[in-house]
Chain A
């Protein structure tokens, strides 16, 4: 079985400061990794994904994430946040032996302070 842990339910950060949202997973099989963002009153939108290859993945809106197999982590980073980044961020994994099943973390609310 797989599980995803997002330790921080909320992360407050000042505008233009860097941010890291943490994601750790547990799995007995290889996984693919995803970050989704949910803006207020909108649906979930894919930010980035890791399937294979380079462990540093770049996504939309200046976000990037690094897959660390030994740490079983896939932390999301942005060097300088904007007020428009206020949203909830979800990490998800898909077991390599499934072509659709996504297992989700509980989400992290990013709060941008002016």
Chain B
């Protein structure tokens, strides 16, 4: 079946611009995760959804970052007033269980802020 998909795959934004990154999880997966991966680093946790409920947003780096999953499937990560330090790959993952041992990852969105 289809895996996790993310769009766009690449995004170039001017500093100060708002961006929206989309994640389509595997159908029926309860849990959804967003990670930020800087160049040469491992992923860093941003936020976690169980269905439509955002249970943990402790990793969001500032109040410019906002995530939602209104119907418990597709999720959007929004970054307002982008800064150069926001440049990174944004990864989405989903899992079938609440929490979930095996997280299935999308290919990521590479964001470059100029």
Contacts and interface: CB of A to CB of B under 8 A. Distances in A.
Give chain B's interface secondary structure class.
loop
A16 B104 CA distance: 29
Question: For the side of the interface on A, what is the size category?
Answer: 20 to 34
B22 to A, nearest CB: 15
9 contacts: A43-B91, A43-B105, A44-B105, A51-B101, A99-B99, A102-B45, A104-B44, A106-B40, A107-B41
B101 A43 contact: no
A30 interface: no
Chain B, interface size category, equals 20 to 34
B42 A104 contact: yes
B31 A100 contact: yes
Nearest to A6: B42
A99 B98 contact: yes
Contact of B42 (A4, A49, A94): A4
Contacts, number: 57
A-B complex: 9 closest residue pairs judged by Cβ atoms: A99-B99, A104-B42, A43-B105, A100-B99, A44-B105, A43-B107, A106-B42, A104-B43, A43-B106
Contacts of A32: 101
Given A41-B107, A44-B91, A100-B48, A92 B99 contact: no
Contacts of A6: 42
A101 B45 CA distance: 8
Contacts of A102: 43, 45, 103
Nearest to B37: A104
